[in-house]
Structure 1
Amino acid sequence: MNQIRNTLLALTGGMLLLGAQQAAAQSAAAKPAPATQARPAQDPAADAFKAWDKDGNGNLSLVEFRTGWQQVQRAAELQARLRHQFGTVDANKNDAIDPAEYGNLKLVQNAGAKAPQMSVFDANRDGKLGFGEYVKLVQALAPDAGKAAAK
């Protein structure tokens, strides 16, 4: 029973991660829509199904499901690792990376003088990095981190 629960939680976490990544990408790229323009409803489950259905036949084979499942598992593991790292650097536990904490990031220290200013990743200009902004920083400074963390 615990294995089923953990499996469902992992799948849900992966789906949330995929949905969050899509929402972040859309909000960063899209301008606010006029109030009169209706937005289509988002369906993360349908989007995931379509992404997993590699041959586009409307059915998931065991191979397609297994491949998609493994991607979700890797994404959930990476999400957990990034959350842990974020929490470790967030010394004052305000759920954000403040300017004083930014310099403690290993990626920033490794980049040295070439490290971008924190403001480059502070999308909402609130003077700190939330988790989503932190993920963007990791993607920019360590593009292969996702691959390495998934191994």
Structure 2
Amino acid sequence: DLVLEHCDAMTGPAPRKGFLPLDNVLETLAGYEISVGINWARSAIEGQDTTLPLAHTRQASQAGKLGALMFSGTTQHGEYGEWQDLHAPFSPFCAESLMTHTHVRELLACTDSKPLQFLGIKLLEINPDADVNHRIAILRDGITALNKAQQ
């Protein structure tokens, strides 16, 4: 099945991708066997608000179109920038990150036990001098967040 990832809307305060608002995406997909993937960071960036990913997830779920969840973080300051789509790791692993393990649990609760097409993480170590063990630790922390949220 095809999953269309919702990106930050052109109507947001400082669009990064600048695509359609979720309302328009869901209207367009009505009647088609295409679901929507919500990326935590892109929804947070859209509204510069950490509650918008949950609202988007609920909206897609209520429309019967929630097909995937992707967890990528954002920050308000620091190395990862201000509301940038630079894949900040989870807090507290990345002290500035706005994305927490609690956000994973909240979004997964919206699935009503319906299987997703995919569930994933997209995390990046921004420091080019970071060693491999640190980079692996970022991914392990993200995987742990997903696993714990599903228990």
TM-score range, shorter chain: under 0.3
Bigger radius of gyration among the two? 1
Name the structure where strand makes up a greater proportion of residues.
Answer: 2
TM-score (norm 1): 0.24
TM-score (norm 2): 0.24
